[in-house]
Amino acid sequence: MTASASATIDWDELTRQAFEVRERAHAPYSHYHVGAALQVASGRVFVGCNVENASYGLSLCAERSAILQMVAAGEKDPIGIVVITRGPIVGTPCGACRQVLAEFALDMPVRLAVEDPAVPARMTSLAALLPDAFRAEALK
């Protein structure tokens, strides 16, 4: 995580967008709604929510949904992400999402929060969540 990267992020606004997209989560099976808002270096924000399926294993997480939006828009430089889950426990990105995020940023600040204002948001980083990620360099 670099100070300059996090300095360009309006965390309150990114958090607002993550809450907003969480409203559109399709989670009729788990009832666990997740919203993610990802900012890239150009300043653009991409959002994603979890999209579950009657064939449970096909469900897509909110973080990967946001990454797909980012790549489809031609952007590949995320600098920070907010993930909103249900409380009271502040959810962390699953292992698959950590690896997919690490494809585009070895490290970046990650803000985790829930809807209950009594539960403090948690600030962490991708490198803390996924140390020693598998990288494309290993394929050379």
* Beta-bridge mates of residue 47: 37
Min separation Cβ 95 and ligand THU, Å: 9
**Could you say which of 20, 23, 63, 137 is catalytic?**
63
Residue 69 has a CB neighbour count (10 Å cut-off) of: 18
Which residue, 94 or 128, has its beta carbon nearer to ligand THU?
94
Residue 140 has a CB neighbour count (10 Å cut-off) of: 5
Which residue, 50 or 69, has its beta carbon nearer to ligand THU?
50
The span from the first CA to the last CA of the chain, in angstroms, equals 26
Residue 112 has a CB neighbour count (10 Å cut-off) of: 19
Catalytic, 75? Answer no
Contacts with ligand THU by CB under 6 A lie at 27, 30, 32, 34, 50, 52, 59, 61-63, 93-94, 97
Min separation Cβ 4 and ligand THU, Å: 27
